[in-house]
Amino acid sequence: MSILRAAVCAALFVFTPLLAHGQDVTLSSLDGGVTLSGELESYDGEFYRVRTDYGVLTLDGSGVYCTGPACPSLEGYVAEITFSGAESIGAELLPALWERFASKHGYSMARESLSDTDFTLVLAQAENDVARIRFELGSSDFGLEKFLAEEADIALSLREANEEERALALENGIGRLNRIQNTRILGLDGVVPVVAKTNPVTAISLSQLAQVLSGEIVNWQDIGGIDAPIEVHLREDGSGLLQRATLEILEEGDKLSDAATRHLQDASLADAVARDPFAIGLTSLSNGSNVTAMSLLGGCGFPFRATHEAVKAEDYPLTAPLFMYVPSRRFPKVVREFFAFLSTPNAAQVVADLGFVNQVPHEIPVSAQGERLANAILRAGEETSLEDVQSMVAELRDGQRLTTTFRFEAGSSRMDAQSQANVARLAEVLEAGLFGDRKLTFVGFSDGDGSAAANRKIALRRAEAVEAAVLAEATLFDPARMGVESKGYGEAMPMACDETAWGSKVNRRVEAWLGPVLPPELPEYARDTPPLEN
């Protein structure tokens, strides 16, 4: 009886509703003293979730008997889960991750194809099915719509949930889609303007790209090419990739040209561009092997190249996280184990093998950041002097920048979804001791809006906020072991001009830097030995 009562009390505060199945069950305590009736919403092999007069309650199956037509079989339980959304995430990446997970946990895996976009993965052990993982693929819009209607368990998206979708998720008890508890980042991709390999134009400014996409520029001659019409190729409406790009590129009120040729898949888009010397398209970094990726030019001419390193560090302005949205509820054990697997090196290797960018921190030496430093020197002026830049370089020159960058939601001190994931990832690395005893410095930068002195203070506060978040997450890490500090350099190292919204956004950031690898400490007998005289 105490087990049932405890479960009821806990459930009132912890859990949120699921899909209502509308089938009655009665759960009774083992001694028969307490009974509870309602509509069974789910059973995950361990816990029942029942809609009752008291709300949706979650009860431990080991403490109750179940009676009624909807009671599941306690033997041979098979977990079922549905992924819905972006085909570019669900067609290959998720199946490959499930396959590696199955191999590591001793499961066999088979695939049942239902259509070109719908299929089921069946995990089994000793000839008994363990889980059925259903995929219903399409666009990011499609996945989020199914997820918010509670017709899918997990949404796959190449764009972030908008304010309306966040509000609906909160209203329906699904969770907060701008928090790490409900938002997982599987990896990163980049939105890349591409041309045929025979096209001599290999760079385009974001303002020029906006005009091409909106139909204001229709001839290659206007962007440094020959006198020939520009043929534009884009994904279909509802594509998260396209929505991510247009949000960053187009000005408010601008629309995509009706003359653009639309494609249902990135592969067909890239193939069409590769065959046409006068075509330009927007596709993903992971899908552009047969075309040339154009460099993006900021308002100051600073080039952005879609390399894996630039995407991982979020230095490339059209970086696209691979979002996986999950509800605030308990999943079956095999699914929870899969979620834990996603944070392992094995999963990161699968992400990289399929052409995406994983989130494992990578070190970038100062010698590989010449363009950033050159831009800082060129932009030095009255507000940020050359002496300020020299002081910053002197502090960082012996260090290595990590590809783990932190940014904040617009007009907020709260980190965005990608940065929240970066906090968790960096905390795991610190707890694992992978950096040895090297000093870790969080370095804050700002845009140029306001005075240089004020911007240095803002940058420092944000660096300190990131430091506090990482240390709070890394509970097994001792910061005294390697030394952790924060610094703020304000607008001393701009990545772009502040004249555009994306330029200001990319300038407002916190970077993580590691100190140099220290030489081994001298043995005790050699520490005070005077040098030999000539």
pLDDT tens digits, 130-176: 999 999 999 999 999 999 999 999 999 999 999 999 999 999 989 99
**CA nearest neighbour of 492 among 394, 364, 363:** 394
Q: Cα separations (Å) of 510 from 378, 442, 466?
A: 21, 6, 8
Report residue 11's pLDDT band, with 50, 70 and 90 as the boundaries.
Answer: very low
CATH classification at residue 40: 2.30.30.100
SS3 132: strand
Tell me, what amino acid is at 213? L
- The answer to whether residue 323 scores a pLDDT higher than 80 is yes
**145 and 160 inside one domain:** yes
- The answer to whether residue 447 scores a pLDDT higher than 80 is yes
- Average pLDDT over every residue of 411-430: 85
Work out how many domains the chain is built from and give that number. Answer: 4
Report d(CA 203, CA 325) in Å as an integer: 35
**84 and 158 inside one domain:** yes
- The answer to whether residue 53 scores a pLDDT higher than 90 is no
pTM: predicted TM-score of the whole model, two decimal places: 0.81
pLDDT tens digits, 344-388: 999 999 999 999 999 988 898 887 877 777 777 777 766 777 888
Report residue 226's pLDDT band, with 50, 70 and 90 as the boundaries.
Answer: very high
**298 and 414 inside one domain:** no
Q: Please give the mean pLDDT across all residues of the chain.
A: 85
**58 and 27 inside one domain:** yes
| Least confident range of 127-141, 219-233, 295-309, 431-445 | 295-309
pLDDT of residue 184: 93
SS3 245: helix
Report d(CA 188, CA 186) in Å as an integer: 7
**Residue 402 lies inside a defined structural domain of this protein:** yes
Cβ contact 297:270 at 8 Å: no
Domain that holds residue 128: 79-185+323-350
**330 and 397 inside one domain:** no
- The answer to whether residue 5 scores a pLDDT higher than 50 is no
**422 and 386 inside one domain:** yes
Report d(CA 298, CA 316) in Å as an integer: 11
Report d(CA 414, CA 407) in Å as an integer: 9
> pLDDT > 70: what percent of the chain?
90
**Residue 318 lies inside a defined structural domain of this protein:** no
**414 and 492 inside one domain:** yes
Report d(CA 19, CA 40) in Å as an integer: 9
pLDDT tens digits, 241-300: 888 888 888 887 889 999 999 998 888 999 999 999 999 999 999 886 789 999 998 656
**Residue 392 lies inside a defined structural domain of this protein:** yes
Taking CA 498 as the corner, what is the angle to CA 241 and CA 453, rounded to the nearest 5 degrees? 130
Report d(CA 2, CA 521) in Å as an integer: 60
- The answer to whether residue 16 scores a pLDDT higher than 60 is no
pLDDT of residue 209: 94
Overall residue count recorded for the chain in this entry: 534
> pLDDT > 90: what percent of the chain?
48
**179 and 236 inside one domain:** no
Query: Where is pLDDT greater, at 55 or 277?
Result: 277
**Residue 72 lies inside a defined structural domain of this protein:** no
CATH classification at residue 158: 3.40.190.10
For 5, residues 6+ apart whose C-beta sits below 8 A from its C-beta are: 34
For helices 140-148 and 163-171, the axis angle rounded to 10 degrees is 20
**Residue 355 lies inside a defined structural domain of this protein:** no
**CA nearest neighbour of 489 among 396, 403, 400, 416:** 396
Q: Which two tokens stand for residue 366?
A: 């100062």
| Least confident range of 18-27, 96-105, 202-211, 520-529 | 520-529
Report d(CA 168, CA 172) in Å as an integer: 6
**Residue 529 lies inside a defined structural domain of this protein:** no
Query: Where is pLDDT greater, at 395 or 3?
Result: 395
First to last CA, the chain: 88
Burial bucket for residue 374 (CB in 10 Å: 0-12, 13-18, 19+): exposed
**39 and 114 inside one domain:** no
Q: Which two tokens stand for residue 244?
A: 């991510």
**327 and 178 inside one domain:** yes
* Residue where a domain stops, chosen among 33, 67, 101: 67
**113 and 254 inside one domain:** no
**Residue 224 lies inside a defined structural domain of this protein:** yes
Q: Which two tokens stand for residue 74?
A: 């306690």
pLDDT tens digits, 451-499: 888 989 999 999 999 999 999 999 999 888 888 999 999 888 887 777 7
**178 and 246 inside one domain:** no
pLDDT of residue 411: 61
- The answer to whether residue 442 scores a pLDDT higher than 90 is yes
**Residue 159 lies inside a defined structural domain of this protein:** yes
Q: Which two tokens stand for residue 510?
A: 């916190």
CA-CA-CA-CA dihedral for 315, 318, 324, 325, to nearest 10: 100
